[in-house]
Amino acid sequence: MTSPDGAVFTDGLRPVDVLTVVAVTDVTPSVRRVTLSGDAAVVAAAGPTVNLLVPRVDDPDPRWPRIQRDGRIVWPEGSHGIALRSYTARRQDPAAGEVDIDFVLHGDGPAAAWAAAARPGALLGIAGAASLAERPARWLLLVADETALPAVSRILAAAAPDTTGVAFLEVAGPEEEQPLPAPAGVAVHWLHRGATAPGESTLLTDAVAGLDRPPGDDVFAWVGAESAAVRAIRADLRGRWGLGRAQHHAIGYWRRGRSMAPAG
Ligand SMILES: Cc1cc2nc3c(=O)[nH]c(=O)nc-3n(C[C@H](O)[C@H](O)[C@H](O)COP(=O)(O)OP(=O)(O)OC[C@H]3O[C@@H](n4cnc5c(N)ncnc54)[C@H](O)[C@@H]3O)c2cc1C
């Protein structure tokens, strides 16, 4: 029996797609780019948002879950050490069979630990993908910390050349800034939190609070950062700016002091 994309089902379940690390590069002191290789169809489907199955560091033979026909994950019984985490494919090249994922090396956490230790030959599973939920608009507001820079880079790269707007991007300092090609009419502002811990600064919230809504309705705001900051910004955009549901997408990318999903 096969799934619509040709994968084999056993007892109604199919294996997860697995990619292999082929290169690891440090983009900035705290962002590690992992280049993964795999089947062209798997790479084409692996993004822009991707659900990663992250094995324990140096696990040579991960006990992968399997996938139901409806896409649900069926975990193996007992301890398997695989964590489910959302990431963004910064680059997808199905012809070359490659996908790049930029991991913030924030310290604790299965995904950050895996990326810090990643070497060519390491394996990473994939259990589904989703869109970035962005919408083209004449005027764009982008608000992100370092975890959402891959998403912002894709949104800016896909924006029409005559797009106008503002991007507020929070990182630790100048050494964490990344080249981000953007339409000339989008003003990119890097905000440096310095010694303040990630998730504790109010830079993004304050920046949005100091910005007036542009005239017209062809406006879209995309926000990805620590959950508490995102909540405050979402409330501001819905309240003071009066943005409707179709005019914004604001999602917590991580939660201070909490894992994003239970590890196995
Ligand atoms: C749709 C989506 C796309 C994402 N894309 C990316 C991406 O491309 N690159 C990327 O790096 N992240 C991305 N993230 C964020 C990433 O999923 C979270 O940071 C996740 O918590 C990391 O998992 P972990 O196993 O390393 O840590 P967890 O087990 O989830 O957390 C362990 C501890 O680390 C803390 N923590 C988690 N993230 C951070 C951080 N960034 N800074 C400081 N402390 C942190 C938590 O508060 C917790 O205390 C994305 C999130 C979403 C929802």
What does the pLDDT look like over 103-113, one tens digit per residue?
999 998 999 99
Which domain-ending residue is among 79, 98, 130?
Answer: 130
pLDDT at 9: 65
Quick one: pLDDT at residue 47?
87
Residues 250 and 149 in one domain: yes
pLDDT of the residue at 264: 42
**Of ligand 1's atoms, which has the minimum distance to the CA of residue 251?**
53
CATH of the domain at 227: 3.40.50.80
94 in a structural domain: yes
CATH code of the domain in which 98 resides: 2.40.30.10
Among 130, 153, 170, identify where a domain stops. 130
pLDDT given at position 137: 96
Q: What span, in angstroms and rounded, lies between the C-alpha atoms of 135 and 142?
A: 12
| Domain boundaries, position 209 | 139-254
User: Is residue 168 within 8 Å of residue 102, measured between CB atoms?
Assistant: no
Do 125 and 158 reside in the same domain of the chain? no
147 in contact with ligand 1, CB cutoff 6 A: yes
The two three-digit tokens of residue 187, written as one number: 């003003």
Task: Identify whether residues 64 and 107 lie together within a single domain.
Answer: yes
Name which residue sits closest to atom 23 of ligand 1, judged by CA: 111
Ligand 1 centroid–CA 253 distance in Å is 6
The pLDDT assigned to 108 comes to: 87
Residues of the chain predicted below pLDDT 70: 1-10, 261-264
Domain count along the chain: 2
pLDDT score of 2: 39
Task: Enter the tokens of residue 2.
Answer: 């096969």
How many angstroms separate the alpha carbon of residue 102 from the centre of ligand 1? 11
Q: How far apart are CA 78 and CA 131, in angstroms?
A: 32
Is 143 in the same domain as 240?
Answer: yes
Do the domain assignments include residue 263? no
Query: What is the reported pLDDT for 71?
Result: 86
Tell whether 196 is covered by a domain.
yes
In a domain, 260, yes or no: no
Please work out whether the CB of residue 83 comes within 6 Å of at least one atom of ligand 1. Answer: yes
Instruction: Count the residues in the chain.
Output: 264
Asked if 189 and 169 touch (Cβ cutoff 8 Å), the reply is yes
| Same domain flag for 94 and 147 | no
CA 53 to chain centre: 14
Of the residues 130, 156, 178, the one at which a domain ends: 130
